[in-house]
């Protein structure tokens, strides 16, 4: 039996003592005999589906199939972290200058560094970088996205006296 996720270019192997697998293997051989590649492929697909449904738990007893609920997310800038700005001088004939502004908290600080560097060196080409922190949030906020169909936990107070 071919394991799920295995190479689908190889045909699945029928499971011993399974009538459905034997029947599908016979259909596949008949399709091969008449050179019907489409029917052969269809039979392979049906055999893989059958093996996943009927034989998966036997072949892999510890593994179960899981279904995940789709929650639409959006990417937003993390409001708790400041973005970072930096620039590096790439001017030079043979090699880049390589002078760097270092990480700054505001683009105006980086622009000021560029102006001063240009005044000192007459260099005019810079590579600017911007980095921020992003957060994945469900559309409608965490409460709307993660608790759909779920009930909140209930707290029961136990009296000890």
The number of helix segments (H) and strand segments (E) in the chain equals: 5, 4
pLDDT in tens, the chain (161 residues): 445 445 667 888 998 889 999 999 999 999 999 998 888 999 998 998 888 888 876 666 666 666 667 778 888 889 899 999 999 999 988 889 999 999 999 999 999 999 999 999 999 999 999 999 999 888 776 555 454 455 555 555 556 55
Query: What's the N-to-C CA distance of the chain in angstroms?
Result: 62
Radius of gyration of the chain (CA): 31
């Amino acid at each position: 039996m071919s394991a799920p996720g295995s190479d689908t270019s190889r045909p699945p192997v029928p499971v011993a003592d399974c009538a459905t697998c034997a029947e599908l293997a016979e259909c596949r051989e008949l399709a091969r005999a008449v050179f019907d590649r489409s029917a052969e492929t269809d039979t392979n697909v049906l055999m893989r589906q059958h093996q996943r449904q009927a034989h998966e738990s036997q072949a892999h007893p510890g593994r179960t199939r899981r279904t995940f609920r789709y929650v639409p997310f959006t990417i937003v800038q993390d409001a708790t972290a400041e973005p970072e700005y930096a620039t590096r001088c790439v001017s030079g004939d043979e090699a880049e200058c390589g002078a760097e502004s270092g990480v700054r908290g505001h683009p105006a600080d980086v622009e000021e560094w560029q102006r001063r560097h240009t005044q000192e060196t007459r260099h005019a080409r810079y590579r600017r970088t911007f980095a921020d922190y992003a957060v994945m949030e469900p559309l409608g906020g965490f409460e709307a996205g993660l608790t759909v169909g779920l009930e909140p936990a209930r707290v029961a107070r136990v009296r000890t006296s």
